[in-house]
Amino acid sequence: MTEYKPSPVRWVREQVELYESSGGTQGTELLDTGMPVIIVTHRGNQTGAIRKTPLMRVKDGDSYVLVASQGGAPNNPVWVYNLRANADVEIRDKTEVTPMRAREVQDAEERQRLWALATAAFPPYEDYRAKTSRTIPVFVAEPT
Ligand code: F42
């Protein structure tokens, strides 16, 4: 299936719509914070449908760090299971769209380094970590 299924969450869905329909020239920041956002296009692990998830932009060289914080909610966001099942993603960073592969970070040292990058880019990640008892999954999306 190649159908696009928008997020059921209104503000998320609207951000994706504006970001994509403007070709990456509008809607590229988190609400009024001025902090940059990327769009991760991936596939649903059950439906196979195309999903588009905005995340904070955390760059590591040519790669992007994807942090499954979901505001410190008790459960992982569903996109975590989608990326575990199918690692092929497309990252839109403003006007640039790049095919990438997402790898879940398992190594403790690598995780520590990437977590430092993530919290430098978006300090609230640290509050989200304190709020939840789960280990927040971290992925790195690397150019294919
Ligand atoms: N979320 C983060 O976790 N980290 C961030 O850095 C982040 C930044 C951010 C910036 C802007 C913005 O607008 C949103 C931001 N979010 C951030 C929120 C993020 O975009 C997601 O909305 C959030 O992480 C929740 O992800 P989710 O995948 O759980 O989304 C839910 C609401 C959703 O889409 N559910 C669908 C539904 O219909 O209920 C299911 C989607 C799905 O993938 N279904 C699968 C399928 O096969 O299609 C199967 C379902 C299954 O159970 O496996």
Q: What is the pLDDT of residues 109-130, one digit of tens each?
A: 999 999 999 999 999 999 999 9
Residue 38 pLDDT: 98
Q: What is the mean pLDDT of residues 26-38?
A: 93
* Proportion of the chain above pLDDT 70, given as a percent: 99
Substitution candidate for ligand 1 out of 20, 58, 70 with most atoms within 8 A of CB? 70
Q: What is the rounded end-to-end Cα distance, in angstroms, of the chain?
A: 23
Pocket (CB within 6 angstroms of ligand 1): 7-9, 12, 15, 30, 37, 44-47, 49, 51, 53-56, 67-70, 77-79, 81-82
Q: What is the pLDDT of residues 38-48, one digit of tens each?
A: 999 999 999 99
Q: Which atom of ligand 1 is nearest to the CA of 79?
A: 28
Mind spelling out the 3-state secondary structure of the chain? CCCECCCCCHHHHHHHHHHHHCCCCCCCECCCCCCEEEEEEEECCCCCCEEEEEEECCEECCEEEEECCHHHCCCCCHHHHHHHHCCEEEEEECCEEEEEEEEECCCHHHHHHHHHHHHHHCCHHHHHHHHCCCCCCEEEEEEC
Residue 1 pLDDT: 57
Substitution candidate for ligand 1 out of 28, 37, 39, 53 with most atoms within 8 A of CB? 53
Q: How confident is the model at residue 32 (pLDDT cuts 50, 70, 90)?
A: confident
pTM higher than the cut 0.85:
yes
Closest Cα to atom 39 of ligand 1: 8
Q: How confident is the model at residue 2 (pLDDT cuts 50, 70, 90)?
A: confident
Q: How confident is the model at residue 31 (pLDDT cuts 50, 70, 90)?
A: confident
Residue 107 pLDDT: 98
Q: What is the mean pLDDT of residues 37-61?
A: 97
